[in-house]
A and B are shown apart, each in its own frame.
Chain A
Amino acid sequence: MFCLLQIDCPLQTQGSMKKYLPVLSGVLHTIEKFGTPPHHTLMKIGVRSIMQTICLLLLSTSLLAGLDKPAPHPAATFPTNALIPVEIQGSVTDPAGEFLIGVNIQVKGTTRGAITDINGYFSIEAELQDSLIFSYIGYKTQTVPVDGRTQIHVVMEEDVSQLDEVIVVAYGTSTRGTYTGAATVIDSREIQDIPTTTFQNALVGKAPGVQVASSSGQAGATTSIRIRGIGSMNASNEPLYVVDGVPVNSGNTGQLSGYIYATNNVMNSINPSDIESITILKDAAASSLYGSRAANGVVLITTKKGKLGKPKFTLRSSVGFTPSWATDNYEPAGTQENVDMLYRVFHDYNTGRGISEADANADALRRLNVKFNQHGYFFETDGTALTEHVHIRGMTDGIVNREGQYFDWEDALFRTGVYQTNDISVSGGDESTRYYSSLSYTKDLNRIKINGYDRITGRVNLTQKIGRLVEFSSNINISSSDLTGFNDTRNLSSNYYLQTRNLLWGLYWPTDYKTGEPWTARYGSYGQNNIYYDNEWENSGKTLRLSANEALQVNILPGLHARTVFSYDNTRTKDHIYYSANHFNGSNSNGTVSEMTTTYSKLVSSTTLNYDQVFGAHRLGLLAGFEAEKNETDFQRSTGNDLPSSALHTVATAGELDANAYFWGNSIMSYLSRAEYSFDDRYYLSASFRRDGASKLGPDTRWGNFYSLSGAWRLDKESFLAQVNALSNLRLRASYGVNGTLPSPDFGWRSLTAYGISYMEQAGGGISTIADANLTWETNYTTNIGLDFGFFEERLSGSIEYFTRDSRDLLQSVPISRVTGFSSTLKNVGEINNRGLELSLGGDLIRTNLIRWGVQVNASFIRSEVTRLYRAEGEEEGADIIWYDPTGSDARAQYIFREGESTLAFYGYEWAGVDPENGNNRWFVNDPNDPTVGEFLIDGRGASYAWQDANYILIGDGIPKVFGGFGTDLEFKGITLGANFIYKIGGDLYDGASKDVVDDGYYWERIRAQYQYDNMWTAENPTRSLPRIEGFDPTDAIQFSSRNLYDASFLRLKNITLAYNLPLSLINRLGIDNTRIYFNGTNMLTFSKYKLADPEVNQYSTRGWETPYGKTFTFGIEIGF
Chain B
Amino acid sequence: MKALNIYVFILFLIGITGCSEDFLDVKPSNSGDASSSIQTPADARVIMNGLMSKMRSSAYYGRNFIMYANAKGGDLTIFSQGRGLDGLYTFNHSVTTGSNSGYWDHIYHCILQANSIIASINQLEAEGAVGNFDDVKGQALTARALMYFDLVRLYGEPYTEDKSAWGVPNVTEPLDASSQPSRATVEENYQQILSDLQTAAPLISKSISNGYLNYYANMALQARVNLYMGNHAQALAAAEEIINNGPYSLYSNEEWVDSWTRQFGSESIFELAILSTEGDLGTSSLGFYLRRKGHGSSSAAGWFMASDYFLDRLGEDPNDVRWGVMSYDEVGEDHLGASYKYSGSVDLVGDGKSTGTAVNIKVIRLSEIYLIAAEAALESDKAKAAEYLNAIRKRAPGLEPATESTISLDMILDERSKELFTEGHRFFDMMRLNKPITYNDDLADVPVAHRDKTIDRSFYKTILPIPQAEINANPAIGDQQNPGY
Binary CB contact string for chain A from 745 to 760 against chain B (1 if under 8 A, 0 otherwise):
0110011111111111
Query: What CA separation (Å) do A758 and B448 show in the bound complex?
Result: 41
Query: What CA separation (Å) do A589 and B299 show in the bound complex?
Result: 13
Q: Is A817 an interface residue (CB 8 A)?
A: yes
Binary CB contact string for chain A from 682 to 699 against chain B (1 if under 8 A, 0 otherwise):
000000000001110001
Query: What CA separation (Å) do A6 and B149 show in the bound complex?
Result: 101
* Contact B1 A466, beta carbon cutoff 8 Å: yes
Please pick, from B32, B299, B469, the residue contacting A752 in the complex, using a CB distance under 8 A: B32
Size band of the interface chain B makes with A: 35 or more
Binary CB contact string for chain B from 332 to 354 against chain A (1 if under 8 A, 0 otherwise):
00000000000000000000001
Query: What CA separation (Å) do A1096 and B101 show in the bound complex?
Result: 34
Binary CB contact string for chain A from 994 to 1030 against chain B (1 if under 8 A, 0 otherwise):
0000000011110000000000000000000000000
Binary CB contact string for chain B from 154 to 182 against chain A (1 if under 8 A, 0 otherwise):
00000000000000010100111111110
B256 to chain A, nearest CB (A): 25
Question: How many residues in A have their beta carbons less than 8 Å from beta carbons of B?
Answer: 100
* Contact B33 A751, beta carbon cutoff 8 Å: yes
* Contact A820 B33, beta carbon cutoff 8 Å: no
* Contact A466 B298, beta carbon cutoff 8 Å: no
Contacts of A1031 in B (CB 8 A): 447
Query: What CA separation (Å) do A756 and B46 show in the bound complex?
Result: 10
* Contact A587 B469, beta carbon cutoff 8 Å: no
* Contact B23 A821, beta carbon cutoff 8 Å: no
A762-B33 CB under 8 A given contacts A470-B2, A693-B24? no
List the one stretch of A56-64, A519-527, A784-792, A1069-1077 in contact with chain B.
Answer: A519-527
* Contact A766 B50, beta carbon cutoff 8 Å: yes
Please pick, from B2, B109, B169, the residue contacting A822 in the complex, using a CB distance under 8 A: B109
Q: Which of B210, B211, B447 has the most CB of A within 10 A?
A: B447
State which residues 843-880 of A face B: CB under 8 Å.
Answer: 872, 879-880
A750 to chain B, nearest CB (A): 7
Query: What CA separation (Å) do A620 and B33 show in the bound complex?
Result: 50
A1009 to chain B, nearest CB (A): 18
State which residues 346-402 of B face A: CB under 8 Å.
Answer: 354-357
Binary CB contact string for chain A from 616 to 648 against chain B (1 if under 8 A, 0 otherwise):
000000000010101000000000011000000
* Contact B26 A667, beta carbon cutoff 8 Å: yes
* Contact A817 B470, beta carbon cutoff 8 Å: yes
Q: Name the CB-closest residue of B to A745.
A: B28
Query: What CA separation (Å) do A961 and B29 show in the bound complex?
Result: 46
Q: Is B126 an interface residue (CB 8 A)?
A: no
Contacts of A746 in B (CB 8 A): 26, 28
Q: Is B483 an interface residue (CB 8 A)?
A: no
State which residues 257-311 of A face B: CB under 8 Å.
Answer: none
A819-B175 CB under 8 A given contacts A472-B5, A765-B37? yes
Query: What CA separation (Å) do A761 and B25 show in the bound complex?
Result: 32
A823-B105 CB under 8 A given contacts A467-B1, A757-B53, A1005-B82? yes
* Contact A554 B9, beta carbon cutoff 8 Å: yes
Please pick, from A554, A584, A630, the residue contacting B283 in the complex, using a CB distance under 8 A: A584
A753-B298 CB under 8 A given contacts A525-B80, A628-B16, A759-B50? no
* Contact A750 B181, beta carbon cutoff 8 Å: no
Contacts of A827 in B (CB 8 A): 177
Q: Is A954 an interface residue (CB 8 A)?
A: no
Q: Name the CB-closest residue of B to A472.
A: B5
Binary CB contact string for chain B from 19 to 55 against chain A (1 if under 8 A, 0 otherwise):
1010111111111111101000000011111111110
List the one stretch of B131-139, B188-196, B270-278, B316-324 in contact with chain A.
Answer: B270-278
* Contact B52 A759, beta carbon cutoff 8 Å: yes
Contacts of A772 in B (CB 8 A): 177
A816-B449 CB under 8 A given contacts A522-B294, A663-B29? no
Q: Name the CB-closest residue of A to B112.
A: A821
Query: What CA separation (Å) do A991 and B449 show in the bound complex?
Result: 27
Q: Name the CB-closest residue of A to B181.
A: A819
Please pick, from B33, B175, B276, B278, the residue contacting A750 in the complex, using a CB distance under 8 A: B33
Query: What CA separation (Å) do A275 and B27 show in the bound complex?
Result: 37
List the one stretch of A508-516, A924-932, A1032-1040 in contact with chain B.
Answer: A1032-1040
A224 to chain B, nearest CB (A): 27
Query: What CA separation (Å) do A769 and B174 show in the bound complex?
Result: 12
Q: Is B472 an interface residue (CB 8 A)?
A: yes
Q: Is B6 an interface residue (CB 8 A)?
A: yes
Query: What CA separation (Å) do A203 and B303 show in the bound complex?
Result: 48
* Contact A765 B108, beta carbon cutoff 8 Å: no
Q: Name the CB-closest residue of A to B168.
A: A819
* Contact B31 A754, beta carbon cutoff 8 Å: yes
A708 to chain B, nearest CB (A): 24
* Contact B447 A1032, beta carbon cutoff 8 Å: yes
Q: Name the CB-closest residue of A to B273.
A: A760
Contacts of B469 in A (CB 8 A): 815, 818, 823
B291 to chain A, nearest CB (A): 11
Query: What CA separation (Å) do A768 and B297 show in the bound complex?
Result: 34
Contacts of B179 in A (CB 8 A): 816-817, 819-820
Q: Is A469 an interface residue (CB 8 A)?
A: yes
Q: Which of B80, B298, B301 has the most CB of A within 10 A?
A: B298
Query: What CA separation (Å) do A753 and B174 show in the bound complex?
Result: 13
B443 to chain A, nearest CB (A): 14
B88 to chain A, nearest CB (A): 15
* Contact A587 B297, beta carbon cutoff 8 Å: yes
Q: Is B104 an interface residue (CB 8 A)?
A: yes
Contacts of B357 in A (CB 8 A): 588
A882-B472 CB under 8 A given contacts A522-B298, A528-B298? yes
Query: What CA separation (Å) do A353 and B445 show in the bound complex?
Result: 11
A641-B53 CB under 8 A given contacts A587-B296, A766-B47, A815-B473? no
Contacts of A1003 in B (CB 8 A): 82
Q: Name the CB-closest residue of B to A1005.
A: B82
Query: What CA separation (Å) do A854 and B9 show in the bound complex?
Result: 48
Contacts of A727 in B (CB 8 A): none
* Contact B26 A564, beta carbon cutoff 8 Å: no
Query: What CA separation (Å) do A100 and B87 show in the bound complex?
Result: 75
Contacts of A521 in B (CB 8 A): 294, 298
B224 to chain A, nearest CB (A): 23
Binary CB contact string for chain A from 813 to 833 against chain B (1 if under 8 A, 0 otherwise):
011111111110101000000
Q: Is A552 an interface residue (CB 8 A)?
A: yes
* Contact A626 B17, beta carbon cutoff 8 Å: yes
* Contact B109 A466, beta carbon cutoff 8 Å: no
* Contact B176 A948, beta carbon cutoff 8 Å: no
Please give 12 more A-B residue pairs, beta carbons under 8 A apart, in addition to A552-B12, A564-B13, A759-B278. A467-B1, A467-B2, A470-B2, A522-B298, A584-B298, A667-B26, A747-B28, A755-B31, A755-B32, A764-B49, A818-B470, A1036-B97
Cross-chain pairs A/B with CB under 8 angstroms, 26 sampled? A349-B445, A349-B447, A466-B1, A522-B294, A525-B80, A525-B301, A587-B296, A588-B296, A626-B17, A628-B19, A630-B23, A667-B24, A693-B21, A699-B21, A746-B26, A750-B31, A755-B50, A756-B30, A758-B53, A760-B210, A760-B212, A762-B49, A767-B37, A818-B108, A820-B112, A821-B109
Sorted from nearest, which 5 A-B pairs have the closest CB atoms?
A: A821-B112, A764-B49, A766-B50, A753-B37, A759-B49
